[in-house]
Amino acid sequence: MLRFVSARGPTPQCPGRSVRMARNTLPLRQSPDMATQPQYYQHHVFFCLNQREPGADRPSCANCNAQAMQEYAKAKVKQLGLAGPGKVRINKAGCLDRCEQGPVVVIYPEGTWYTYIDETDIDEIVEKHLAQGEIVERLLID
C-alpha cells in the first residue's frame, strides 16, 4: 500500500520537499538471515553531505543545511545515551544518489530512507526510529 503525504513545501535548492511517499516497511527487528552475523551497531545512520558545484544539474544535500543537521543528530544521540558500540552511530556520507528527494538520511540495517527540514524532523527520527524502533512515516522517501 502506497500513500502520499504532503510536507512543508519545496525550495529551489531542495526540490524533494514537496511530496513524501510513504511505503510499507518491515518491522525494525533483525531478519533471520542477519541473525547469524553480529552487528557492531544497532542502527548505523548516514547523512548525505554532498556539495556540488554552483549551477550543477542536480541539487545538493549540503545546500539544505545537511552538515548542521548531521552534527545536531550526533549530539542528540549522545545526549540521549544512544551512541556507541551496540547502539547508534551517526556518520557523514558523500552522495547517496537521492538528490532530488533531499536532503536525505539512511538508517541501516533496515535501509530506511528519510528526508528532513529542521531539528524538529531530526528529533522525531532520533526519538521515534532510533530510540523506540518506530518508523516516522511522514518523513519516509521511497
| Domains contained in the chain, number | 1
Does residue 32 sit within a domain? no
Residue 14 belongs to domain spanning = 3-27+37-139
* Average pLDDT over every residue of 75-79: 98
Give pTM, 2 decimals. 0.76
Does residue 49 sit within a domain? yes
Q: What is the pLDDT of residues 84-141, one digit of tens each?
A: 999 999 999 999 999 899 899 999 999 999 999 999 999 999 999 999 999 999 999 9
How far, in Å, CA of 95 to CA of 105, rounded? 11
Q: What is the largest CA-CA distance in the chain?
A: 47
